[in-house]
């Protein structure tokens, strides 16, 4: 932190306010302290006689013999007074965190005010073009009086929390969604290469065989980032018990974001979106919208609310008794289009509170379906390339696919798409609508033309119906999806997954006929919740029918969890199917073993009888790095038994796992390792397995520093580590655990914020001061250095502090020897320099060192 002390009037107090009267008598420091304590006690017991603000008289502390105070301490005389300079702060605009960065503050009447520029306000979301006072200012000009250019705007600097609170009327802001992040802050990240690996192996031995077997599997995700481009490859290696091995490259592609189109461009092997048509693999090019680029408040479906205000009114939107949105609007018509996605349905109460206090209430029914867009929003996808079959005998014809979803007024959504290839063409059209209290419904129809291997041409239709309803008052949620296919309808997968050139008639015999899905959940409040899910799928051949049914009840009572589940599955109509009923109970053992619990489960299976299982699970070590499980199973007949034990350790450089399992016929040891190797401009870092988007943390020279909210993530011996998962196009707060600092390490700011783009490796850079922590007493001929002076290390890696009582100042990041530059005013006589050297014994020990130095 850079501190620049300011000294108005050059020590001349002729213009000082009455409470800095130069005629008051001199007081020794002990007397001043005595009166200060008395004054504080009087404020406690007689608040009506106390001042409205905390204040001490700096003249009472120290004064020259000629009546002039030696050090100007007026910036400390008020409760909010601090030194002017640069501070690393969290910036809040209208109570919403928008950025974390250094801000320059200036002293005005004893308080700190931030310096703004036109560009900095624009980045915060202020509509500078619509404000005459701003549009006429040069972009580089700084100013601190925000209210002079934006009426009713205010700033408050919370020094203790290091927060800058900025309030700007909505009329002066761009019409922008809440939670939006300025695209100018999107960081494409570092040029880097990453290799994510996941290895698992097992050694098995069988009771009937003297010879054991080995299995190995390696999963590799390779990545290369250059600017906005992301190159990715996914490959696997497998070796089975017969010593047969195989390398396989599953996909390779290049991708980059298209910010102007709010989408992603993909070249190579990937899959299409499954919203309109069923998802299929392709090798080619795709341009598709990316909802991650939208603010959270614009993702998912939510209705657009319209109304009219008669004054500068407050608008609140309430659902299920909770206020989910609140804002202020100007007189006239208003539109609210940035509601956060809420429950699947439920009336919205819109309350308009006018300036005179009168209120008007209106109700807007609301429901959503899986295919639904906000009014005015467009979701698109265009794909061109070759079909990628999952079968070695499948076809790979060229094809083109496009889809679009658009939000219409009055809670309607229109959507459609086309698929075209040599042997297959399809067109889909659909419409969704929210019916308020009656739920929401979407329906679409697909017409397809298919040419099979026998050169026969078939034309058919598929019908899809989706419905959802949520009753907030009863805690009930219901979703229903139904599909019906005509006898001549096939989808792209059915046509291309088999070798049609050989006249394979599999699609004719086993194509789908119908499908239905139903899900119901019911909350019982303190008595738990019940759920059910059922599905059925029929094929052209009557013997081919799949059914599944799941019922369950869960309850948590006094920290103990209970569960009752029933599952029924049937693959074919001729099969009797499989049915299982189970009961489980989980008991926390925190009173005996922190972070552990015991579980008992009994299951009755139609085909295999009754099975009992008892397990102990938990985490251990200070950072919960180690997770473990012990389990024993046995059946009611006593013929079947088994057990397993295993653990996983999650460290800074990766994860290791080891386990052992057995039953009557098998003994097996399994083991595994996973992690990542990250090459970046600062070197190579070993880390835990990373996601597509990650953050490189750089704290030069600070080893072993823990990153908050990330189990096992600590800096390596050079001061680098990787936070494995980041949220694209969102503020990611990276905070350090200050308790993990070494004694010779100090960091200017323990938290920062980064905004990565999709697939980026962004840098979270922290400035460190490596050295000793000292409490040094600075003396001169006239006595101790004046209270409130600033002492700075004469070193490129400067450390500074404020001198306290008796000339003492605390500094960190200090070398074994050096020079301190001390200032308590702007004149040459108001400063000195002090050379210091730590005793050899102190230089080798940790903790805070105490020493004295002469300031000349």
Residue-level pLDDT at 773: 84
- Position 26 pLDDT exceeds 80: no
* Confidence label for 321 from pLDDT (cuts 50, 70 and 90): low
User: How many CA within 13 A on the CB side of residue 143?
Assistant: 16
Cα–Cα distance, 472 to 324 (Å, whole number): 15
pTM for this predicted structure: 0.74
Among candidate residues 750, 752, 696, 695, the one with its CA nearest the CA of residue 728: 695
- In tens, the pLDDT along 135-193 reads 778 878 888 888 888 888 889 888 888 889 998 887 777 766 556 777 888 999 999 99
Residues 6+ apart with CB under 8 A from 687: 652, 653, 654, 675, 676, 677, 678, 713, 721, 722, 724
Task: Please check the confidence at residue 42 and state whether its pLDDT lies above 50.
Answer: no
Question: How would residue 487 be classed by pLDDT, with cut points 50, 70 and 90?
Answer: confident
User: Please, how many CA atoms are within 13 Å of residue 297, restricted to the half-sphere of its CB?
Assistant: 14
pLDDT category of residue 41 using cuts at 50, 70 and 90: very low
In the structure, what pLDDT confidence band is assigned to residue 398 with cuts at 50, 70 and 90?
very high
pLDDT at 588: 92
Q: Is the pLDDT of residue 3 over 50?
A: no
What integer is the mean pLDDT of 524-544? 81
Q: What is the pLDDT of residue 330?
A: 57
Q: What is the mean pLDDT of residues 756-767?
A: 94
Distance CA 778, CA 798 (A): 18
What is the model's pLDDT at position 661? 86
DSSP string, 543-589: TEEEEEEEEEEEEEETTEEEEEEEEEEEEETTS--EEEEEEEEEEE-
- Could you tell me which residue, 368 or 352, shows the higher pLDDT? 352
The answer for 75, left when phi > 0, alpha when psi is -120 to 50, beta otherwise, is alpha
Work out the pLDDT band at 798, boundaries 50, 70, 90. Answer: low
Q: How many other CB atoms are found less than 10 A from the CB of residue 355?
A: 13
- Identify whether the C-beta of residue 768 lies closer than 8 Å to the C-beta of residue 843: no
Q: What Å distances lie between residue 703 and 693, 741, 768, CA to CA?
A: 24, 8, 11
Report the distance separating Cα 698 and Cα 338, nearest Å. 36
Q: Is 86 helix (H, G, I), strand (E, B) or coil?
A: strand
When mean pLDDT is compared over 320-324, 383-387, 767-771, 803-807, the highest value belongs to 383-387
Q: Considering the chain, what is the average pLDDT of its residues?
A: 79
More reliable by pLDDT, 747 or 41: 747
Distance, CA of 35 to CA of 54 (rounded, Å): 14
Residues 6 or more apart in contact with residue 41 via CB below 8 angstroms: none
- Per-residue pLDDT reduced to its tens digit, 772-783: 888 999 998 888
For residues 207-225, average pLDDT: 83
Answer for the pair 733, 756: CB distance below 8 angstroms, yes or no.
no
Q: What is the mean pLDDT of residues 72-81?
A: 52
Could you write out the DSSP letters of every residue in 699-749? -TT-TTPBBTTSTT-B--TTSEEEES---TTS-EEEEB-GGG--TTEEES-
Helix, strand, or coil here: 411? coil
Residues 6 or more apart whose CB falls under 8 angstroms from that of 264 comprise 255, 256, 257, 258, 286, 287, 288, 290, 758
Q: Greater confidence, 60 or 468?
A: 468
Task: Give per-residue pLDDT as tens, 645-683.
Answer: 989 999 999 999 998 988 877 888 889 999 999 999 999
**Domains of the chain, earliest start first:** 8-76 (no CATH), 85-174 (3.10.20.410), 302-364 (2.60.40.3110), 676-769 (2.60.40.2610), 771-854 (2.60.40.2070)
Q: Render pLDDT for 683-696 as a digit per residue (tens, 0 to 9).
A: 999 999 998 999 99
**pLDDT > 50? residue 47:** no
> 337 or 132: whose pLDDT is higher?
132
Instruction: Return the pLDDT at 43.
Output: 44
| Alpha-carbon 234 to chain mean position | 25
Q: What is the mean pLDDT of residues 454-477?
A: 82
Q: Which residues, at least 6 apart from 40, have a Cβ–Cβ distance to it below 8 Å? A: none
Beta bridge partners of 370: none
List, for residues 619-641, the tens digit of each pLDDT value. Answer: 988 888 899 989 888 887 666 67
Average pLDDT over residues 446-465: 87
Query: pLDDT at position 271, please?
Result: 83
Residue 750 DSSP SS3 = coil
For the chain, the straight-line distance linking the first and the last C-alpha, in angstroms and rounded, comes to 26
Q: Measured in whole angstroms, how far is the alpha carbon of residue 71 from the centre of its chain?
A: 47
Mean pLDDT over residues 402-427, rounded? 91
For residues 828-851, one letter each, b for 16 or more C-beta atoms within 10 angstroms of the residue's C-beta and e for the rest, the string is: eebbbebebebeeebeeeeeebee
Q: What is the pLDDT of residues 565-622, one digit of tens each?
A: 888 877 665 566 678 888 989 999 988 888 899 989 888 877 667 888 898 989 988 8
State what percent of residues in the chain have pLDDT above 90: 24
Provide mean pLDDT across the span 807-818.
87
């Amino acid at each position: 932190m850079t501190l620049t002390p300011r000294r108005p009037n050059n020590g001349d107090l002729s213009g000082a306010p009455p409470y800095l009267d130069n005629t008051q008598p001199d007081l020794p420091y002990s007397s001043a302290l005595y009166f200060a304590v008395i004054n504080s006690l009087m404020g406690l017991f007689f608040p009506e006689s106390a001042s409205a603000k905390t204040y001490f008289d700096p003249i009472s502390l120290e004064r020259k013999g000629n009546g002039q105070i030696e050090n100007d301490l007026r910036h400390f005389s008020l409760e909010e007074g601090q030194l002017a300079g640069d501070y690393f702060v969290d910036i809040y605009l209208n109570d919403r965190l928008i950025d974390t960065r250094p801000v320059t503050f200036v002293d005005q009447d004893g308080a700190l005010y931030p310096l703004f520029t036109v560009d900095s306000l624009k980045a915060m979301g202020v509509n500078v073009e619509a404000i005459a006072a701003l549009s006429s200012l040069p972009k580089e000009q700084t100013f601190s009086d925000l209210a002079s250019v934006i009426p009713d705007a205010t700033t408050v600097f919370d020094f203790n929390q290091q927060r800058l609170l900025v309030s700007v009327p909505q009329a002066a802001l761009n019409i922008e969604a809440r939670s939006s992040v300025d695209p100018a802050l999107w960081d494409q990240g570092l040029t880097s290469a990453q290799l994510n690996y996941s290895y698992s192996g097992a050694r098995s031995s069988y009771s009937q065989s003297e010879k054991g077997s080995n299995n190995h599997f390696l999963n590799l995700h390779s990545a290369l980032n250059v600017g906005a481009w992301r190159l990715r490859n996914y490959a696997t290696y497998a070796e089975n018990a017969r010593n047969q091995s195989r390398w396989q490259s599953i996909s390779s592609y290049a991708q980059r974001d298209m910010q102007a189109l709010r989408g992603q461009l993909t070249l190579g092997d990937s899959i299409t979106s499954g919203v309109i048509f069923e998802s299929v693999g392709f090798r080619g090019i795709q341009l598709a919208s990316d909802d991650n680029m939208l603010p959270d408040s614009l993702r998912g479906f939510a209705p657009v609310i319209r109304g009219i205000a008669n004054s500068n009114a407050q608008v609140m939107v309430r659902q299920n008794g909770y206020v989910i949105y609140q804002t202020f609007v100007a007189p006239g018509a208003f539109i609210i289009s940035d509601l956060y996605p809420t429950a699947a349905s439920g009336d919205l109460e819109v309350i308009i509170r006018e300036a005179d206090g009168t209120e008007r209430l209106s109700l807007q029914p609301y429901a959503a379906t899986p295919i639904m867009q906000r009014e005015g929003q467009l979701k698109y996808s265009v794909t061109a390339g070759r079909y990628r079959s999952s079968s070695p005998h499948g076809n790979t014809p060229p094809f083109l696919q496009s889809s679009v979803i658009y939000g219409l007024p009055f809670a309607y959504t229109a959507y459609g798409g086309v698929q075209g290839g040599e042997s297959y063409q399809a067109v889909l059209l659909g419409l969704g609508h929210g019916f308020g209290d009656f739920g929401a419904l979407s329906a679409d129809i697909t017409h397809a033309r298919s040419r099979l291997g026998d050169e026969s041409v078939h034309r058919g239709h598929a019908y899809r119906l989706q419905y959802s309803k949520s009753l907030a008052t009863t805690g009930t949620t219901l979703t229903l999806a139904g599909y019906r296919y005509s006898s001549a309808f096939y989808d792209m997968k059915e046509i291309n997954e088999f070798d049609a050139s050989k006249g394979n008639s599999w699609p004719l015999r086993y194509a789908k006929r119908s499908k239905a899905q139903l899900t119901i959940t019911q909350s019982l409040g303190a008595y738990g919740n019940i759920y059910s899910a059922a599905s059925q799928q029929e094929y052209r051949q009557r013997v081919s029918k799949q059914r599944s049914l799941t019922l369950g009840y869960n309850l948590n009572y006094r920290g103990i969890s209970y569960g009752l589940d029933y599952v029924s599955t049937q693959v074919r109509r001729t099969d009797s199917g499989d049915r299982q009923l189970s009961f489980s109970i989980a008991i926390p053992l925190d009173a005996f073993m922190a972070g552990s619990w015991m579980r008992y489960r009994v299951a009755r299976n139609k085909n295999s009888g009754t099975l009992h299982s008892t397990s102990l699970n938990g985490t251990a070590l200070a950072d919960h790095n180690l997770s473990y499980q012990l389990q024993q199973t046995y059946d009611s007949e006593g013929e079947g038994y088994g057990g397993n034990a295993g653990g996983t350790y999650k460290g800074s450089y990766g994860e290791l796992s080891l386990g052992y399992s057995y039953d009557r016929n098998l003994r097996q040891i399994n083991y595994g390792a996973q992690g990542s190797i990250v090459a970046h401009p600062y070197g190579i870092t070993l880390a835990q397995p990373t996601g597509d988007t990650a953050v490189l943390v750089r704290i030069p020279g600070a080893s072993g520093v823990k990153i908050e909210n990330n189990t096992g993530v600590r800096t390596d011996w050079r001061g680098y580590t990787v936070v494995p998962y980041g949220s694209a196009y969102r503020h990611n707060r990276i905070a350090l655990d200050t308790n993990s600092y070494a004694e010779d390490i100090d960091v200017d700011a323990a938290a920062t914020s980064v905004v990565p783009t999709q697939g980026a490796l962004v840098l979270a850079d922290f400035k460190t001061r490596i050295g000793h922590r000292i409490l040094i007493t600075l003396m001169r001929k006239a006595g101790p250095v004046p209270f409130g002076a600033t002492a700075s290390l004469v070193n490129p890696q400067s450390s500074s502090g404020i001198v306290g009582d008796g000339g003492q100042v605390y500094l960190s990041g200090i070398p074994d020897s050096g020079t301190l530059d001390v200032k308590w005013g702007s004149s040459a006589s108001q400063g000195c320099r002090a050379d210091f050297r730590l005793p050899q014994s102190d230089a080798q020990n940790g903790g805070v060192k105490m020493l004295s130095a002469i300031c000349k």
